[in-house]
Chain A
């Protein structure tokens, strides 16, 4: 199991070359752990405060869930199209919305290498 290190959102943005689509004000947030699921009901049940959430869902409810759980950031994978409303909401809530063309699996692998651990 990787040794847990303190990782900031800004660090993963740089290390994974993520595009910061919204929520620039939240980039200095510390990440507590990582979680990935594409069904929001699962995320609502399992993700925790400060988690980085990796998903290919880009529905506006994603931001509501991220706000509700006070997540550190949301990484939208596979180059999913992000509607304008989602960007607006992410900015309003200062939730970093990070985009990547890579798959969830690739992103999670790299996050693990950086020392981000799973949310238990």
Chain B
């Protein structure tokens, strides 16, 4: 089936995201945008994933649990999973690797944990805008070991994009896909960054506000909306970027 996917969306848990990024509005906007599949990927966190999954339950929208990790090198890495158990297992490792800094909401933004209706549950006290003490290679290996997909985020972007931070694609990087922003085409990125043929290129919105959801997406041909099928689609190039 044809699956319209936006695999990089933030919620109010990320301090840089707008306060409108609550589960019912995210789901509503995703459905309006014609999406079949989204992934929730807050910075180094996943506490709002269950709420978004719950908000989407009675709809046709599938929600994959995720985390956008900031590696030690300050490269952003989208980590996607099938189940809450898997994302929670990864979250436990990420928590152990994060420095203990406190958020300062008045300067950096609020980090709200909410329920499926968007009601306030608690504030996340520890600062999420940090670099975890995990290298890119370590993170990719561990995410895959849990059964997830590790996708370097917006590699072309100056801020926290792999190319800006590491200069070029490390030859041994074992990722299934690379995410580009809306500022470059797949063919442009493949040429500019010498992306090996076997590595897939996808795009997503990295939405921090509602209007961005579904503006930059990837269409996949999948049998089910799952990690294994995404992985196959990457390998067999069963996708089209719409950026």
Contact = CB atoms under 8 A, between A and B. Distances in A.
B163 A59 contact: no
Interface residues of A, number: 13
A44 interface: yes
Nearest to B167: A40
A41 interface: yes
A2 interface: no
A61 B167 contact: yes
B136 A59 contact: yes
A109 to B, nearest CB: 24
Nearest to A43: B167
B135 A39 contact: no
B135 A44 contact: no
B165 interface: yes
Contacts of B170: 59-61
B166 interface: yes
Interface in A31-64: 38-41, 43-44, 57, 59-61, 64
A57 B137 CA distance: 14
B180 to A, nearest CB: 16
A108 to B, nearest CB: 20
Given A57-B73, A59-B73, A41 B135 contact: no
Nearest to B73: A59
Contacts of A43: 167
18 contacts: A38-B74, A39-B164, A40-B165, A40-B166, A41-B166, A43-B167, A44-B167, A44-B168, A59-B136, A59-B170, A60-B170, A61-B166, A61-B168, A61-B170, A64-B167, A64-B168, A83-B135, A83-B137
Interface of A: 38-41, 43-44, 57, 59-61, 64-65, 83
Given A39-B164, A59-B170, 14 more contacts: A39-B165, A40-B165, A40-B167, A40-B168, A41-B163, A41-B164, A41-B165, A41-B167, A44-B168, A57-B165, A59-B135, A59-B166, A61-B167, A61-B168
7 closest residue pairs by CB, A with B: A40-B167, A61-B166, A41-B164, A44-B167, A41-B167, A59-B73, A40-B166
